[in-house]
Structure 1
Amino acid sequence: MSVTRGSAGDLRKGSYVILDDEPCEVLEVSKSKPGKHGSAKVRVEARGIFDGARRSKIFPADALVEIPIVDKKTAQVINVYGNVVQLMDLETYETFELPLPEDPELASRLKSGIEVEYWESMGKRKIVRTRGGV
């Protein structure tokens, strides 16, 4: 699994964290110190990269959290058939299939020969956007 560890107090908006075994992008971080002798707490609100679900969790500020390594790669669309997109990675020339994105605007732009950016983390992949001004 491609993860590292970091302090919950170091999380920022736009960074990544694993909540409920799902890689998530941090939407909001709020810190609070409950009292004179209490330890600081960090409340993290995040959205799942692959499932889009919102998650919220509270950590002690010094707690170690898992941070996913999100690889942002480029691929070329080979074919689109039904709800499946066949892609070829432009670095490794590996071919693989992904489901058609849920965003109708992005899905309508996927045609053979188009380059797309896809994200890969924890064994999952997702098409994020088209590249090259299309």
Structure 2
Amino acid sequence: MSDDEQHQHTFEQAGAGASTTYPMQCSALRKNGHVVIKGRPCKIVDMSTSKTGKHGHAKVHLVAIDIFTGKKLEDLSPSTHNMDVPNVNRTEYQLVNVDDGYLNLMTNDGTAKDDVKVPEGDIGKQIEQGFEEGKDLLVTIISAMGEEAAISFKEAPK
């Protein structure tokens, strides 16, 4: 094998390098921040730190709500350990149409986005009702760890 051959690699797939999560020390987490518990992106609603015991570290008790399902999750971790924090993005889209349980949305630059489901519950009903009344609606989409959902909406300023 020549020197040139060992340096020729073929990469089947290359990502942009953007990770869905990043590490953060437990003691640096804050209420209303985000954290990954049991593989789910969550918003921290309560946290408490226990004192260091006879053997070991201070522990951080986290109570958080899954940002997509609304389920309450809890975790206990040493304050010096790292936990994953999800990269959470909020984006506003113009509502174009409601079609077969999906929202047809448009970005500011005119790109179509039609893979977001109408949210369940009151928000979904209010979005559909507002659209049927002919209102111009802006829908806020939250995305994290490869999932996304509509979380709120408002009427577009005229």
- Among 142, 151, 157, the alignment partner of 1:119 is 142
Residues 30 and 87 of structure 1, relative CA distance in 2, 3 Å threshold: same
Matched-pair contact (CA < 8 Å) for 2:95–2:139: yes
**Could you say what secondary structure the match of 2:42 adopts?**
strand
Residues 81 and 103 of structure 1, relative CA distance in 2, 3 Å threshold: same
**Could you say what secondary structure the match of 1:87 adopts?**
strand
Matched-pair contact (CA < 8 Å) for 1:106–1:129: no
% same residue: 25
Q: Which runs of 4+ in 1 moved over 4 A?
A: none
Residue 63 of structure 2 is aligned to residue 45 of structure 1: yes
Higher relative strand content: 1
Matches within 5 A, 1:93-104: 93-104=111-122
Structure 2 unaligned runs (5+)? 1-18
Q: How far apart, CA to CA, are the structure 2 residues paired with 1:37 and 1:14? A: 31
Per mean C-alpha deviation after superposition, the further-off stretch among 120-129 and 87-96 is: 87-96
Pairwise CA RMSD of aligned residues?
2.1
**Could you say what secondary structure the match of 1:131 adopts?**
strand
Matches within 5 A, 1:1-134: 1-91=19-109, 93-110=111-128, 111=131, 113-132=136-155
Matched-pair contact (CA < 8 Å) for 2:94–2:137: yes
Report how far residue 94 of structure 1 moved.
Answer: 3.9
Higher relative helix content: 2
Deviations 1:63-82 (A, max 9, x none): 10000111111111121134
Residues 13 and 36 of structure 1, relative CA distance in 2, 3 Å threshold: same
Matched-pair contact (CA < 8 Å) for 1:76–1:87: yes
In the comparison of the two structures, how many residue pairs are matched? 134
The structure with the larger Rg is: 2
Structure 1 unaligned runs (5+)? none
Q: TM-score, normalised by structure 2?
A: 0.75
